[in-house]
Structure 1
């Protein structure tokens, strides 16, 4: 057994058996009916039975599933910055995290469309407790992040995952996607957790972790959705935090959120690829010798890239003006756009709860607040 067997996706040699064992699962039928509504079951079953690699599964099935999601629940995906990336080259994409499944799925669609290496992507084990979802994640080149561990277990798990990521990037020429912190951003404040970089540094054979970070080619990625399809679902956790209470998830909450993210209305979506962090790392090394402080400075570089390049939508400006009772950005949206957003707020949030209302508005307004901190950012 490989030491990575507990977390890795399928090898191509395992793909066909996994697909054949899933052919008659009701969730596979639901996925295929959604993706190919006018195709008889036997047609897609035959095609799946003839699929022997993750790439073929992604290109022939999942790519088309994501296109159908975009068609039915968005006004389209736009991208920028992909021209900075080289074909046949692996990168470590560190991104803000808005949606459980779509963030990585959309990035891979854009990478494929640009002729670039698609990613292996981190996914929390809380999201793949259902056997079919675990199989599907492994077919999509997801590797598992183990949650809820003791400090000792966490150290071992983090080292194992960091070594697996290094194996992918440096020896298999496979790009990797990882979120800038554990879990999705609930309040619109995108911030990189230094623990993510500390975990990644465990994969280095070299004591010079900044040299390692240069070698794996870190690329900050900024994802933004005009409407967050799970905005209202994030409110109970924010309410608990406001009351200083421990938030306990409902049974199947992750699964419901996953589905809501896929089918919920998103309007426009944008992905921006930041600059590969290279000269920035040189600047850090020249400025600071303490490894912990170097990681803190690199964390800030990633944040700066993500926040400055975040695509702001009318919803962000509307929420800012509503939350702060101003008309500072009224030129950025129309009356109709504001009415539509207000209607969404009314339908999703109890008007008698000031905490929920302000939390909902802040989720959309905070990207504007964060961008205002940068003098050279276009707001």
Structure 2
């Protein structure tokens, strides 16, 4: 048994067998009817049964499904920075995280459209407890991050995960995607958790960890949605945290959030890939040889890239103005856009609850506040 079997996606030799097991599942039928509304069931089933590799599944089925999601639930996807990436080259993408499935699915659509290596992507095992979802994730080249383990097992699991990601980059020439923190950003404040970087570095075979980060070609990714389709679903946890309460998820909450992210309205979406951080890593290495300070500095460099390149939408400026009872950025949106946003707020939360309203607005306003730390945003 390979030591990565617990967490890896399918090998190509396993793909057809998994598809044969999943083909009769109602969710497979729903997914195919969504992606191919004009294709007879017998035809897509025949095509699935002829699929023998992850790449074929991703290009012929998953890619089409994500394109359909963009077409039906958004006003379009734009990109920047991809032209700087080299073809046939594996990169280690570290990204802000807003949506369970779409963040990485959209990135892979962009990578494929630009003729670049698609990613293997991290996903929490808590999100794929249902057998069909686990199969689908492994068919989409997801690898599992094991959650809720006792400390000793967590350490072993983290080391295994780090080794697997490095194996993908160094041995398979496969790009890797991981979120900058455990779990999605709920309050709009994207921040890199140092623990994620320390985990990645567990696979290091270099005397200095910064040399390892340079070797894996670290690329920050910033993704922004004009409307967060799961904004209202994030409120209970934000409210619990605001009241210093421990938040306990409802049964099936992750699945409902996953589904809402896919089918919910997003308006416009933008993905920016930053520069490879080799120059910044050299600067960090020259500044200090303290490992903790190096990790701290690297987290800051990633944050700087993600926050500065985050695409701001009218919704962000509307929320900023409403939160601060000002009209300083009124030139950044129309009256109609403001009315639509206020209507969304009224429909999705209890707008009479001051704390809820403040948290909802802050979720959209915080990217503006964060960008203001780096640059002046002219209200013109």
Give the TM-score of the pair, scaled to structure 1. Answer: 0.99
Match of 1:300 in 2: 300
Q: Name whichever of 18-27 and 264-273 sits farther off.
A: 18-27
8 Å contact kept, 1:181–1:191: yes
- In 1, Cα distance between equivalents of 2:243 and 2:267: 32
- In 2, Cα distance between equivalents of 1:355 and 1:58: 43
TM-aligned CA distance change 1:168 to 1:378, over 3 Å:
farther
- In 1, Cα distance between equivalents of 2:102 and 2:109: 10
Match of 1:139 in 2: 139
Task: Give deviations 1:155-181, integer Å, cap 9, x for gaps.
Answer: 000000000000000111000000000
Give the TM-score of the pair, scaled to structure 2. Answer: 0.99
- In 2, Cα distance between equivalents of 1:367 and 1:288: 30
Task: Give deviations 1:41-67, integer Å, cap 9, x for gaps.
Answer: 110000000000000000000000001
8 Å contact kept, 1:308–1:377: no
- In 1, Cα distance between equivalents of 2:377 and 2:290: 30
- In 2, Cα distance between equivalents of 1:14 and 1:270: 34
Match of 1:311 in 2: 311
> SS at 1:294's partner residue?
helix
> SS at 1:202's partner residue?
helix
> SS at 2:67's partner residue?
helix
Query: How many Å apart are 1:40 and its aligned residue?
Result: 1.1
Match of 1:60 in 2: 60
- In 2, Cα distance between equivalents of 1:208 and 1:172: 24
Match of 1:344 in 2: 344
- In 2, Cα distance between equivalents of 1:145 and 1:376: 39
Query: How many Å apart are 1:352 and its aligned residue?
Result: 2.2
Structure 1: which 5+ runs fail to align? none
Match of 1:102 in 2: 102
Query: How many Å apart are 1:377 and its aligned residue?
Result: 7.2
Q: What is the root-mean-square deviation in Å for CA atoms of aligned residues?
A: 0.9
Query: How many Å apart are 1:376 and its aligned residue?
Result: 6.7
- In 1, Cα distance between equivalents of 2:183 and 2:219: 19
Q: Which runs of 4+ in 1 moved over 2 A?
A: 375-379
Query: How many Å apart are 1:216 and its aligned residue?
Result: 0.1
Q: How does 1:256-335 map to 2 (within 5 A)?
A: 256-335=256-335
Query: How many Å apart are 1:207 and its aligned residue?
Result: 2.6
- In 1, Cα distance between equivalents of 2:274 and 2:310: 10
Structure 2: which 5+ runs fail to align? none
